[in-house]
Structure 1
Amino acid sequence: MRDATAPRPPGADPAAAGDDGRPARFVDGYLLYLLARASGIASAEFHDRLKARGVPVPVWRILAVLKGTAGVTVGELAARCLANQPTITKTVDRLQARGLVVRITDAGDRRRVFVRLTPAGEMLVDELIDDAKAHQDRLVRAMGLGESRILVDALQRLIASAGSDC
């Protein structure tokens, strides 16, 4: 059995299984690490494309979440965009100043405010979604359609089982 503290020889596969069949390093089999790493790697190219268009990732996330809705509260945007509410509020302020979103007060409860895309916001997000779909198609082709569907299903079940209602 190999000494875990011994240095690996150059070129050795760090994810190679140990004698018990598990990855030699904890992180190589740790689900949360793998999810985060895969997300970072898979998102990097698309995020570079957003940056080239002058669209920050938080703006993309807000626009994408709003697409296909009649409006979403800032709290729900924060949860779905993986950001805190004050950050989302400031970003929505900037998007509203650019004419990409509007705030609509709920007629039944004036304390509730929904954020909704404007026609200009719809046009921008539609262009971005086309880019996102093309990027995703490349990832799906590299992985294979069957495995991609299994992964999407597994991730949806993981999210549902974690008790997230967003």
Structure 2
Amino acid sequence: MSADGAPFVDDYLAYLLARASTLVSDEFHREVAAAGLGVLEWRVLATLSDAQARTINQLTDIVLAKQPTVTKVVDRLEAAGDVVRGESATDRRQSLVRLTDAGVARVTPLLASARRHEARVLARFGQTQSAQLKDSLRELIEQMTHHR
């Protein structure tokens, strides 16, 4: 029990974040699967959708997977024609990965679907509360990233 008498899992931040993430993500991840993508493939494509090339190392932090796994995902996406990798002469993890036109065409409908899904989830809250929630999560991520 927590200090206020609530069960531990109802008051423990890590559990609350994990449970909220699962509840929010599951429905959309079914759409990702129906589009023929895995969650990590979706995350890579979505991350690259801002037209900014990223290294494998940068992608690992954003897509929440270890470097060897992200490298394999990028290899699959490259074989499918969705991304291209500008090879680094010294370290494959430092090569820049970017979307191809085919990758843009593949991810664009999912980005629109993700926005609709988010709007449905956040419709339960007002605009101010939704903005505060996102701001608080961004601040938590920022703080945790800089205090590793």
**TM-score, scaled to structure 1:** 0.81
Q: 1:38 and 1:101 mapped to 2: Cα distance?
A: 31
Tell me: higher relative CO, structure 1 or 2? Use CA pairs within 8 A at least 6 residues apart.
2
The higher radius of gyration belongs to 1
3-state SS of 2:50 partner: coil
Describe the superposition over 1:80-130 as per-residue Cα deviations: whole angstroms up to 9, x where unpaired. Answer: 100011111111111111100000136xx7543100000010111111100
SS of the equivalent of 2:145 reads: coil
**Structure 1 residues not aligned, in runs of 5+:** 5-17
1:58 matched to 2:35? The reply is: no
Further displaced range: 131-140 or 64-73: 64-73
Larger helix percent:
2
Which one of the candidate residues 57, 61, 64 is aligned to 1:75? 57
2:129 corresponds to 1:157: no
Q: Deviations over 1:43-95 (max 9, x none)?
A: 01001111122211111000011111331000111111000111111111111
% same residue: 42
Q: 1:138 to 1:104 in 2, by over 3 A?
A: same
Structure 2 regions of 5+ residues with no counterpart? none
What's 2:72 paired with? 90
The count of corresponding residues between Structure 1 and Structure 2 is 145
Of 134, 140, 159, the match for 2:122? 140
Aligned counterpart in structure 2 of residue 118 of structure 1, from 78, 96, 100: 100
- Match of 1:130? 112
Which one-letter code corresponds to 2:106 in the other structure? L
